Chain A
């Protein structure tokens, strides 16, 4: 399919022609995947967040376009010990049904998230909540079982959006919230229309009257739709191969930024030879990440050295700790007892184009040090069952794989020996646990730096690069986020240049 897409893209490059002018106040956005329902509280899909999060529903605290936590539905909060939090709600915020948001709604949302019956996808993140007490209509306090430095991030998550409790039954098909848009028409398989919320609590926003999300899975079709003027914004649909061409085209603006998506070469640490640190380091030394970035992403993105993305406030660049050095890689392999290398299989899911492309380049690099790797493409459902290994799978069935880990603050995956990396390191687990209860920012940063260095040195995986955030819009569209610190497509400030 990659070849076909390449051919199609090459042809599209040849085509030129002016599209019709877009109407002021309306925007048509292409997204790749149709959301599987619109309920942020039962499904972690980023396709749902792309439509609903910050557009239809909002949380007490917001992660803004720079990745910083800012007051949102709560105008301020208070804590001295990171265990007892008091939130003061903004007054006069109305749900789409006209009723004012009150503290009782927040209590309902948090209680429901904690309740195991709810099927909340991130329930484990709310398990630490012991008690939620309504002080008055606009004040609510949350008591945790133990200190949690990251609790505000939990409150800012897509699963923590505030909705009116009387509308809990319709979250999946017609969610109500406090956001700048309401859900209009949803034509299954084709489009979702959002309509401006005239009572939005931020005066002057949103700047658009209507937003239409169109689901276009094929990148060539997305490009054609953009060039013929059918869509105004392509949010996740285009690959890096189109960037140079589109940059030259005066009708469009190309927005390239950072994201939290760490493209990771995962290894099965529970399996020989990957259980040997020397082998893992040899693999890391054998890979020329610059070439991977060029070959897979046309050079767009950023080289990584550990599992913390550049948008994280505690990010440090550790990519130089284990450099590209095939000679050293061979030496390490010989020390580990593999002077002739070994056979390996890459299981990758072509659903995400960058996985196959990256693996193709990496396989070449590994061959130069004697590791004879072959690529096996598996469909996404099979990838989840075999590589990612959730129930009923007991042990992951893979050697190596490539996938993007898009969650922010996901370093804890390496502290979980049951995660599909199967990396079990007591020292790292201790560090992570400590970071969870360390409130002091400076100390916490130190712990995060240590963890990043340790990951680079222990090499339980190879962090290849950060997948770039790539959005293409018609000229004149303003207000789109450059970076993507969270999986959202916040359109509240987006509009057309006058």
Chain B
């Protein structure tokens, strides 16, 4: 886990530095004098050798100090935390919607194998895969904001306006964000459950006269959960990454837009900070999924 993080940190550090485009130049704009650019470079520490910059950064990062944003002149860690108040609930909401819709639908499709219910579900999920998130987002805005006026077209007024209001403004983006992953998860669930339903022990259970619902949920789904969980864990990370685009469509002040803005402004400390943070989250999720395997299937033990 630590090795992965060190590798990611090294990679992002080097990549943002070999990118053409000088942050000082971009900050000061095309009218700035070369002296002003040089002075700014110096004050940002950009004139030091790259290995020295890296060691400095990683040592501070280990202590929770991710540096200061060039653009906003505030600590990066604080910036990430404040943006997380949008991205985290957005991701969790999208994941919850995704799981709540995909797993039952996948199971439903598996039990209606090669019948109309199966075909309908698969058509739905095929649509979800084919429609890009930003497009779905625009359609949702058109219907629910512009035409019906039920939701605002975007933006996030903060948690101060009440939890209900905040969640409401995240609902459309969460649906658009979760759509693709919902489709993938529904298909995964279907095929995992189908596979288990063909197993001998399911036949045995049915032969014993166990109720069909118990067969489905106690025997089939539980055993199918391992591949489902693996996919869902990966998806959680992807949802976070996918928020970059949806946050732009719904102009939400989240982590994704922070990263995007930081890249074009060459706000290196913020880019590095966000990537490192997201990498940490994803590595943690993967570790948690590994632990959950053991809970689901007691035969899996880690030495």
For residue A116, which residues in chain B have a CB less than 8 angstroms away from its CB? 35
Distance A462 CA – B21 CA, assembled complex (angstroms): 26
**What is the 8 Å Cβ interface bit string for chain A, positions 367-405, against chain B (1 contact, 0 not)?**
000000000000111101110101110000000000000
Distance A230 CA – B151 CA, assembled complex (angstroms): 10
Query: Once the chains bind, are B149 and A18 in contact (CB under 8 Å)?
Result: yes
Partner of B73, one of A14, A119, A172, A392: A172
Is B19 among interface residues, defined by CB-CB distance under 8 A?
yes
Q: How big is the B interface, by class?
A: 35 or more
Binds A, one of B186-194, B210-218, B260-268: B260-268
Q: How far is the CB of B34 from chain A (nearest CB, A)?
A: 5
Query: Once the chains bind, are A189 and B249 in contact (CB under 8 Å)?
Result: no
Query: Once the chains bind, are A390 and B154 in contact (CB under 8 Å)?
Result: no
Query: Once the chains bind, are B141 and A390 in contact (CB under 8 Å)?
Result: no
If the complex has contacts A190-B253, A224-B154, A227-B146, are A385 and B139 also in contact, measured as CB distance less than 8 A? no
Is A17 among interface residues, defined by CB-CB distance under 8 A?
yes
Query: Once the chains bind, are B28 and A214 in contact (CB under 8 Å)?
Result: no
Distance A230 CA – B156 CA, assembled complex (angstroms): 12
If the complex has contacts A36-B71, A221-B248, A221-B250, are A189 and B145 also in contact, measured as CB distance less than 8 A? no
If the complex has contacts A225-B154, A381-B264, A385-B21, are A407 and B251 also in contact, measured as CB distance less than 8 A? no
**Chain A interface helix/strand/loop/mixed:** loop
Query: Once the chains bind, are B73 and A228 in contact (CB under 8 Å)?
Result: no
Q: Which of A7, A44, A390 has the most CB of B within 10 A?
A: A390
**What is the 8 Å Cβ interface bit string for chain B, positions 60-72, against chain A (1 contact, 0 not)?**
0000000000011
Is A187 among interface residues, defined by CB-CB distance under 8 A?
yes
Closest Cβ neighbor of B34 among chain A residues: A391
Q: How far is the CB of A350 from chain B (nearest CB, A)?
A: 11
**What is the 8 Å Cβ interface bit string for chain A, positions 114-152, against chain B (1 contact, 0 not)?**
001001111110000000000000000000000000000
Query: Once the chains bind, are A8 and B138 in contact (CB under 8 Å)?
Result: yes
Distance A227 CA – B251 CA, assembled complex (angstroms): 15
Query: Once the chains bind, are B26 and A37 in contact (CB under 8 Å)?
Result: no
Is A16 among interface residues, defined by CB-CB distance under 8 A?
yes
Give B5-64 interface residues, CB cut-off 8 Å to A: 19-22, 25-40
For residue B135, which residues in chain A have a CB less than 8 angstroms away from its CB? 4, 7-8
**What is the 8 Å Cβ interface bit string for chain B, positions 279-293, against chain A (1 contact, 0 not)?**
000000000000000
For residue A220, which residues in chain B have a CB less than 8 angstroms away from its CB? 138, 249
Q: How far is the CB of A201 from chain B (nearest CB, A)?
A: 30
**What is the 8 Å Cβ interface bit string for chain A, positions 4-28, against chain B (1 contact, 0 not)?**
1001100110111111100000000
For residue B39, which residues in chain A have a CB less than 8 angstroms away from its CB? 119
Q: Provide a sorted-by-A list of 20 A–B residue pairs whose CB atoms are within 8 angstroms.
A: A11-B139, A12-B138, A12-B146, A17-B149, A18-B149, A34-B261, A37-B71, A190-B253, A214-B251, A216-B154, A218-B249, A224-B138, A225-B155, A230-B153, A381-B264, A384-B21, A385-B21, A386-B20, A390-B25, A391-B22
Beyond A44-B29, A384-B30, 13 additional pairs, beta carbon < 8 A: A11-B142, A36-B27, A43-B29, A44-B32, A116-B35, A189-B254, A190-B251, A224-B153, A229-B149, A230-B152, A230-B155, A379-B264, A381-B26
Q: Which residues of A contact B (CB under 8 A)?
A: 4, 7-8, 11-12, 14-20, 34, 36-37, 43-45, 116, 119-124, 172-173, 187-191, 214-218, 220-221, 224-225, 227-230, 351, 379-382, 384-386, 388, 390-392, 407
